[in-house]
């Protein structure tokens, strides 16, 4: 099925299935499905660490950088969508059929820029998604501990690793319709629980808001925010699951605007209430007393982290299937069995590095910077570097930013800023903080940041 065909309407097989409940819950390829997927995937466990980032940076910087990186992330997601359409259009002119094949970002880079770019894209994307999955698993153990502390966090990681392994049975993003909707509902509840609970709780006695105090803390916090709005490593897979992929280009921006309503009020209010206490409490849940409202938020975030684990892991499943020659197999059971080896290293890494919070910043600085900011910007510059390629482009840059010239300037600014501030300063700060956690708690820490009785 070509982009041109899917532009005209919903595929025939989807129309035939349209009336069934299975189709309603399972087959999602609309603009709304893509929006739910983007918004649900963008903010998960990071919602709980943003107050921690505010305590490192201060209120003003926290709000400004959320908006700044939110729009920067939306721009590079737009670039990825443009390059996907360009690649698919060129391939379809060569009569390449994608009926039983999920296009991925590294294939787009290969088709447009050659094998070296494919290798770079594959390395960064897979490593980022691997650690993105690790972070979700760490977050599961960190959260459930606040409901049931009879087991330590490492034991909970073993348990949730087994639970998350069940995502091998979900074939593709096309089948995440109901999960994306529920996931966003869950993060919305949690964000507003944090906001309202912090305001009702009020400021703790003698609260101080001393940030920013140290450059290492400031840039660690800034890099966590860069990580927050760099969740578009699965953009191509979400687009490919759409019936009309060309309609994706502004969806990520619309998702980001909604996410602002969750991340800014919750982080600001929790930081206002608890101030510098957050410096030793990377998970915001740890500062609130147990209540039915809090425990509901914890359970909902656990379910959402399971969904986000699937989001991060599904592209890795696709890559592994392609490596071993199983990607074209129609049997869900056979594909599920072949996917299981992907989960094992994720499980192992989550047990080695259980540092909820600091690991987000490290991944943000070393992987997100290149995967979803620098590489898409450079790829767009190089793909359209000649006048003839710009004339034949499947999609022209929006006039509001100044056409091709404006796009080039924005891309250069993104590359320079993210390389210097995100990778350079952010890498130094986040790795310094990460090493400090290893020195304090050790690798394979049994119960990271748990109260003394554990």
Prediction pTM value:
0.86
Give percent of the chain above pLDDT 70: 90
Higher pLDDT, 412 or 434: 412
Given phi > 0 = left and psi -120 to 50 = alpha, else beta, which region is 2?
A: beta
133-183, pLDDT tens digit by residue? 888 888 888 788 878 777 777 888 888 888 888 888 877 766 777 888 888
Say if residue 4's pLDDT is above 50: no
pLDDT confidence bin for 17, thresholds 50/70/90: very low
pLDDT confidence bin for 12, thresholds 50/70/90: very low
183-242, pLDDT tens digit by residue? 899 999 999 999 999 999 999 999 999 988 889 889 988 988 988 888 777 888 888 888
Higher pLDDT, 310 or 440: 310
SS3 string, 323-361, reads: HHCCCCCCCHHHHHHHHHHHHHHHHHHHHHCCCCCHHHH
Cis peptide before 212 (omega within 30 of 0): yes
Dihedral of alpha carbons 198, 200, 206, 211, sign: positive
Average pLDDT of the residues in 122-139? 88
Say if residue 442's pLDDT is above 60: yes
User: DSSP assignment, residue 58?
Assistant: -
Rounded to 5 degrees, φ, ψ at 443 are: -70, 160
365-386, pLDDT tens digit by residue? 889 999 999 999 999 999 999 9
- Nearest by Cα to 217 from 110, 75, 382, 58: 58
The Cα 72–Cα 360 span in angstroms is 19
């Amino acid at each position: 099925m070509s982009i041109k065909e899917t532009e005209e309407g919903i595929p025939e097989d989807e129309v035939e299935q349209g009336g069934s409940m299975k189709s309603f819950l399972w087959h999602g390829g609309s603009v709304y499905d893509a929006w739910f997927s983007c918004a649900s995937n963008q903010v998960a466990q990071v919602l709980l660490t943003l107050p921690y980032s505010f305590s490192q940076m201060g209120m003003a910087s926290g709000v400004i950088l959320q908006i700044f990186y939110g729009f920067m992330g939306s721009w590079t997601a737009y670039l990825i969508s443009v390059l996907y359409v360009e690649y698919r259009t060129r391939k379809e002119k060569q009569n390449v059929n994608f009926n039983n094949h999920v296009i991925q970002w590294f294939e787009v880079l290969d088709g447009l820029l050659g094998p070296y770019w494919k290798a770079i894209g594959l390395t960064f994307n897979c490593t980022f998604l691997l650690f993105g999955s690790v972070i979700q698993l760490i977050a599961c153990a960190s959260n459930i501990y606040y409901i049931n502390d009879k087991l330590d966090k490492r034991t909970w990681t073993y348990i949730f690793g087994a639970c998350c392994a069940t995502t091998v049975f979900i074939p593709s993003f096309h089948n995440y319709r109901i999960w994306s909707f529920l996931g966003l509902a869950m993060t919305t509840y949690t964000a507003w629980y944090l906001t309202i609970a912090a305001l009702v709780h009020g400021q703790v006695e003698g609260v101080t808001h001393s940030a920013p105090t140290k450059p290492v803390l400031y840039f660690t916090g800034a890099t966590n925010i860069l990580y927050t709005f760099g969740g578009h490593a699965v953009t191509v897979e979400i687009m490919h699951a759409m019936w009309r992929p060309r309609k994706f280009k502004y969806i990520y921006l619309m998702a980001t605007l909604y996410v602002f309503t969750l991340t800014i009020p919750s982080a600001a209010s929790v930081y206002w209430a608890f101030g510098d206490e957050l410096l030793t409490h990377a998970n915001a849940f740890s500062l609130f007393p147990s209540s039915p409202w809090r425990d509901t938020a914890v359970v909902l975030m656990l379910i959402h982290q399971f969904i986000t684990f699937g989001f991060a892991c599904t592209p890795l499943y696709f890559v592994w299937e392609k490596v071993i020659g199983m990607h074209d197999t129609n049997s869900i059971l056979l594909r599920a069995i072949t996917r299981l080896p992907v989960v094992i290293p994720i499980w192992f890494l989550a047990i080695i590095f259980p540092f909820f919070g600091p690991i987000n910043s490290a991944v943000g600085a070393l992987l997100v910077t290149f995967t979803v900011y620098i590489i898409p910007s450079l790829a767009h510059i190089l793909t359209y570097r000649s006048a003839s390629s710009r004339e034949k482009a499947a999609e022209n840059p929006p006039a509001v930013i100044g056409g091709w010239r404006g796009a080039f300037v924005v891309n250069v600014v993104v590359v320079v800023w993210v390389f210097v501030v995100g990778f350079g300063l952010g890498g130094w700060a986040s790795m310094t903080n990460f090493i400090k956690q290893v020195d304090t708690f050790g690798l394979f820490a049994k119960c990271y940041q748990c109260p003394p009785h554990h």
